[in-house]
Amino acid sequence: MSLFNVFAAKHLPLAESIFVTFHYFAFAPIMIALLVLAPKASSDSVAHMSEEIEDADVTVPKSMILPFILNIPFAMGSAVTYLFTMPNVQDALDSPTGLPFICVFSEATKNAAGASILVVVILLLFFMITISCMASASRQMFAFARDNGLPFSAWLGAVHPTLHIPVNSVIITCAFSLLMFLINIGSGVAFNAMLSLSTSPLMGTYMICICCVIVRRITKSPPLPPSHWSLGRFGMPVNVLALIYSSWAFFWSVWPVNREVTAETLNWGPVLFVGVMGLAGALYYFISRKTYEGPVVKVEGRRFR
């Protein structure tokens, strides 16, 4: 995935088009196999690449909303089919593969070869999603380093002179992913603790951004700048609903999943969230606030504010 993001980055738009096409066409064989071959998980997601595109203020919102709308029927169909064809839940959870969806495929097809083909389809989808996620994560790191918001920003924000991509950011993103994999080998509890960091920080950052927008809408001091993509009078209701949802999700994301809490079942997300926020706050206060200058745009070695 890193090699693709380094040496084939200019073909990423074409690859994304192929990924999306495969994503939708893969829906049919999996659903047919589960519904028809079973007398009686697959999950859909869209990875977005929001860097380095023309007319980003219009294209990015469309690319975020349209895939969500298009995936609603696919997600509902996948969820209903998966639940309808699932055998005993505990048997699926206790599958020797460690992946319940493989158990569902095996029970549905009653054939090892058929189940293997469906698993390969899922793996190909994951491979495509990983390329997109790594591209997005590396560009986010580059953008923050470009504004001198990270340690070693000059190195992380460097753009390769011939490939015209932030190779160093791609390398660090790949290295961090490999580090996560090594953590899983050493301790499953530590790996799950890292994964539990996904929901609460995501919802927390959503809440912060949405609150800032709502305050600006109410106080109009200073007013929000005009935008090419606007919901008009529906903007405030959408912001309020988004804040309510993100607050609700954030509240429940910090609770453990079981009543009897152990080191294995404890939700480590809030602990890690506080630690990461504290580390980021300290980094900004002592270092980045003296050097951060955003947003900065680099065009062939020149810098514009």
| Residue 22 predicted with pLDDT over 70 | no
pLDDT digits (tens, 9 = 90+) for 55-70: 777 777 777 777 777 7
pTM (2 decimals)?
A: 0.69
pLDDT (0 to 100) of residue 21: 65
pLDDT digits (tens, 9 = 90+) for 88-134: 778 777 878 778 888 888 887 788 888 888 888 888 877 877 877 78
Q: How confident is the model at residue 214 (pLDDT cuts 50, 70, 90)?
A: very high
Q: What is the DSSP string of the chain?
A: -HHHHHHSGGGHHHHHHHHHHHHHHTHHHHHHIIIIIS------------SS-TTHHHHHHHHHHHHHHHHHHHHHHHHHHHHHH---HHHHHT-TTS-HHHHHHHHHH--HHHHHHHHHHHHHHHHHHHHHHHHHHHHHHHHHHHTT-STTHHHHT---TTT-S-HHHHHHHHHHHHHHHHHHHH-HHHHHHHHTTTHHHHHHHHHHHHHHHHHHHHH-SSPPPP-SS--GGGHHHHHHHHHHHHHHHHHHHTS-SSSS--TTTS--HHHHHHHHHHHHHHHIIIIIHHH---S-EEETTEEE-
Instruction: Give burial (CB, 10 Å; 0-12/13-18/19+) of 253.
Output: buried
pLDDT digits (tens, 9 = 90+) for 146-158: 888 888 888 988 8
Mean pLDDT of 9-19: 64
Higher pLDDT, 297 or 18: 18
pLDDT (0 to 100) of residue 224: 79
pLDDT digits (tens, 9 = 90+) for 153-197: 889 888 888 888 888 988 998 888 888 778 777 777 777 777 767
* Ranges 36-40, 101-105, 260-264, most confident: 101-105
- To the nearest whole number, what is the mean pLDDT of the chain? 75
pLDDT (0 to 100) of residue 244: 94
